[in-house]
Every structure is written in structure tokens, then in C-alpha cells.
């Protein structure tokens, strides 16, 4: 990974990403696992980095055509995002974007069947486009299953990207009938990992992660089950994170709410309040275990 020094003057683009969770299949272990995909190395955004499924919100995600396929109305979706400035149509588009991008990138569709048998969800052809699939199989999107987790806005001095995004992160339990897999186009590899395993592999330089993924994993590391994680996140408003970067002694630092170098004095989420780019990775001041101290 390389640090960029360009100042990006464009407005951030709406995006949505979905952390698909499952309980650890290891009977001797407790905790959650999250599905991660490795973006194609030639991708213009975080090429080669492990991320959660997601991407840009498409203008067509706000189409009225989606309304009949949603199990939650747009006004309720807006309330759950806790962004007063959003219109209901924008909130709808963000939820649809998260579900659509997840379906396109890893084949998992958060939907329910109204008339067909449950087997209709086992093998779906995403080449037809999501609306086509919903109409063909008479499916309803399960927006109810998506729990708003956090919102991240890329700073103007972005460290790893040359584009700015306003990304909403959601949590959701992996649908029992579906198998998550990478698409071999936008993503070239995928794996289920516990948060600690993913951060350990990052620390050992086996995989690359971006700061929002690092902080999200740190926050999920203390939950003993998916149900516990979803219940905890549902009980509060989504965290709003605007990292504030600065360079000191030639080293890029990222300050988060609650750190003295950040303009917001109150913490917005758990995890370290400061990351610095040393040894080709973003690490907290206290070493590896400091990822988990305040999560």
C-alpha cells in the first residue's frame, strides 16, 4: 500500500457496504466471522485490499421500481440511517445499493420469497440484474435484515484512495440458504475470518486492509455471537466517522473522534483513536493488542 498526498476537492460519492456475519463454526470458539473479499489488483479503488462487499450507490437505485420489492418503507429506512438531511428516496437508494452490490459481488441476496419455495434462493443468476431476478422469482428485498452500523466520509487528504466516498456500513446475518463467494471479476478471492484473525493476518502482512475495515473489525471483535452484535448495534445510532489525517515526522497519522488531534472531542466508536502508517500498515500506538483496547 502507498500513501497519497493529493488533496481531493470533489464531493464524496454515496456508497454502501455490507458486513455479512456468521457465528464461528468452530465448536470450541465463540464470536463472529465476517465475509471479506479481495478486490482485483487493477481496481481503481483499493486494488488488492480486503474489503466488505459493496460499492457506489447507482442513481438507478433510487428508482420507484424498487418500492414494491422492499419490506420496509423508505421513510423508516431514512429514520434508521439517522441522517436528517437525507430524503426518503436517498435512503432507499443506499439500502438498495448495499443489497445490489452484495448480490453482484458475492452472490448473496438479502431477499425473501413470497410465493416460490425457499429453494429459489439457492441458485440465482445475477447476470439478469437484480430487478429481473426479483420479478422472475417474485422476491422481496430484506431491508429489515440490514442494521446500520457506521458512516465513513473520506477526508480530502485521502491516504489510500484518490476518490472520496460517503459510505454507509451495514451489518447483516448471512442468509442460511446461500453461500457467499467472490465473483472472480471485481473480487479475486474471498474468505470468512474472525475479526482477530483478519487483523492478525494484516499485522503479519499477509493481507491488506484499509482503515475503515480495520476499525470495523476491531469493533466486532468483542461480540460473542451475531445476535449479540446485531442487538448492540440496533440499540444505538450509527457511528459517524470523519477521519482527520495529519503528517508528523514524515509519517501519516489518522485521528478519530475522541483523540486530542481530532476536532470532535467525544469518541464515535470503539477501537484506537489514532492510527499511523508504519511498516507498510496502519497501526495503533500500542502495538497489535491496541486494536482491541477500546472496542
Instruction: Compute the distance between CA of residue 176 and CA of residue 237 in angstroms, rounded to an integer.
Output: 27
Per-residue model confidence as pLDDT tens digits over 98-131: 999 999 999 899 998 866 545 556 556 666 688 8
Instruction: Compute the distance between CA of residue 11 and CA of residue 156 in angstroms, rounded to an integer.
Output: 9
User: Across the chain, what does the average pLDDT equal?
Assistant: 89
Q: What is the reported pTM?
A: 0.92
| Confidence at residue 154, expressed as pLDDT on a 0 to 100 scale | 94
| Confidence at residue 71, expressed as pLDDT on a 0 to 100 scale | 93
Instruction: Compute the distance between CA of residue 208 and CA of residue 257 in angstroms, rounded to an integer.
Output: 24
Per-residue pLDDT for 269 more than 80?
yes
Instruction: Compute the distance between CA of residue 21 and CA of residue 194 in angstroms, rounded to an integer.
Output: 9
Span 137-149, mean pLDDT? 94
Element (DSSP H or E) covering residue 22: strand 13-23
Residue with cell 508504519: 278
Please give the radius of gyration of the chain, using alpha carbons only, rounded to the nearest integer. Answer: 19
CB 34 within 8 A of CB 52: yes
| Confidence at residue 73, expressed as pLDDT on a 0 to 100 scale | 95
Per-residue model confidence as pLDDT tens digits over 228-252: 999 999 999 999 999 999 999 999 9
How would residue 275 be classed by pLDDT, with cut points 50, 70 and 90? very high
Per-residue pLDDT for 201 more than 60?
yes
Per-residue pLDDT for 163 more than 90?
no
| Confidence at residue 118, expressed as pLDDT on a 0 to 100 scale | 52
Angle, alpha carbons 234-31-294 (nearest 5°): 65
Q: Is 157 exposed, middle or buried (0-12, 13-18, 19+ CB in 10 A)?
A: middle
Per-residue model confidence as pLDDT tens digits over 10-52: 999 999 999 999 999 876 677 999 999 998 766 656 668 899 9
How would residue 160 be classed by pLDDT, with cut points 50, 70 and 90? confident
Span 267-283, mean pLDDT? 93
The alpha carbon dihedral of 186, 189, 191, 196 has a sign of: negative
| Domains present along the chain, CATH in parentheses | 13-235 (3.90.79.10)
φ, ψ at 113 (rounded to 5°): -95, 130
The percent of residues in the chain predicted with pLDDT above 90, rounded, is: 69
Per-residue model confidence as pLDDT tens digits over 63-84: 999 999 999 999 999 999 999 9
Other CB atoms within a 10 A radius of the CB of residue 84 amount to 7
Amino acid at each position: 500500500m502507498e500513501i497519497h498526498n493529493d488533496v481531493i476537492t470533489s464531493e464524496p460519492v454515496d456508497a454502501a457496504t455490507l458486513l455479512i456475519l456468521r457465528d464461528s463454526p468452530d465448536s470450541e470458539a465463540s464470536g463472529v466471522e465476517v465475509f471479506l473479499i479481495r478486490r482485483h489488483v487493477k481496481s481503481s479503488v483499493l486494488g488488492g485490499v480486503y474489503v466488505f462487499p459493496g460499492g457506489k450507490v447507482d442513481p438507478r437505485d433510487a428508482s420507484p421500481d424498487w418500492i414494491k420489492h422492499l419490506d420496509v418503507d423508505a421513510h423508516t429506512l431514512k429514520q434508521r440511517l439517522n441522517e436528517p438531511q437525507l430524503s426518503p428516496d436517498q435512503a432507499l437508494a443506499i439500502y438498495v445499493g448495499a443489497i445490489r452490490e452484495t448480490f453482484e459481488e458475492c452472490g448473496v441476496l438479502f431477499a425473501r420469497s413470497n410465493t416460490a419455495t425457499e429453494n429459489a434462493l439457492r441458485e440465482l443468476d445475477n447476470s439478469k440484474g437484480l430487478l429481473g431476478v426479483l420479478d422472475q422469482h417474485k422476491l422481496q428485498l430484506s431491508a429489515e435484515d440490514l442494521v446500520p452500523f457506521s458512516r465513513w466520509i473520506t477526508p480530502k487528504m485521502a491516504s489510500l484512495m484518490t476518490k472520496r466516498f460517503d459510505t454507509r456500513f451495514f451489518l447483516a446475518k448471512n442468509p442460511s440458504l446461500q453461500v457467499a463467494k467472490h465473483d472472480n471479476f471485481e473480487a479475486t478471492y474471498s474468505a470468512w475470518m474472525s475479526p482477530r484473525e483478519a487483523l492478525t493476518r494484516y499485522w503479519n502482512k499477509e493481507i491488506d486492509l484499509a482503515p475503515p475495515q480495520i476499525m470495523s473489525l476491531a469493533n466486532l471483535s468483542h461480540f460473542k455471537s451475531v445476535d449479540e452484535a446485531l442487538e448492540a448495534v440496533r440499540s444505538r445510532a450509527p457511528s459517524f466517522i470523519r477521519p482527520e489525517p495529519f503528517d508528523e515526522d514524515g509519517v501519516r497519522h489518522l485521528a478519530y473522534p475522541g483523540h486530542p488531534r481530532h476536532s470532535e472531542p467525544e469518541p464515535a466508536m470503539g477501537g484506537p483513536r489514532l492510527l499511523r502508517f508504519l511498516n507498510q500498515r496502519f497501526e495503533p500506538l500500542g502495538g497489535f493488542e491496541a486494536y482491541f483496547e477500546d472496542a
